[in-house]
Amino acid sequence: MNSQEEQRLNQEDESTIEDSSEITELLVKTAALSQQISPAQIKQISPLALAYLGDAIYELYVRMYYLWPQQRSELYHRSVVAQVRAETQALHLRSLIPHLRSNELEIVRRGRNAVTSRPKRLNPEIYQQATSLETLVGYLYLTDHPRLTELLQKLHLER
């Protein structure tokens, strides 16, 4: 590796570290906002809206997971994409099912039943499971951060 390439990688690493600090700060700020939503308001949020939120939170968690060890940008991207694919999300949901409480299983059921369309390349069951995981993540993000953290840590993300 020549010195120019090393310098470029070091600059990428520094910008990634700065970006992760900003993301963490943003996550903390949004967590404070989520606590301003009442339980009654949360019940009114549709499962697909919870999945929309959960998709963002799940991807952020995965991105933060892959920050270390430091890698090139394209390796970060490939690692994250492999984990946020519907097929992988479906596997993650199935691995979490034994650990879920009854109210969480109800959220998963609501997420599964909310799916009305899917990408043509996907089996409908896989897409329903992925949406169910995202719905659960969105719901827990709004209602129970420690529980969300506990469940996300049970996922077996590949290094």
Catalytic residues: 55
Helices (H), the chain: 3-34, 39-44, 47-65, 73-84, 86-96, 102-114, 124-143, 145-154
Q: Read off the tokens for 36.
A: 């301003």
Cβ 131 vs Cβ 115: under 8 Å:
yes
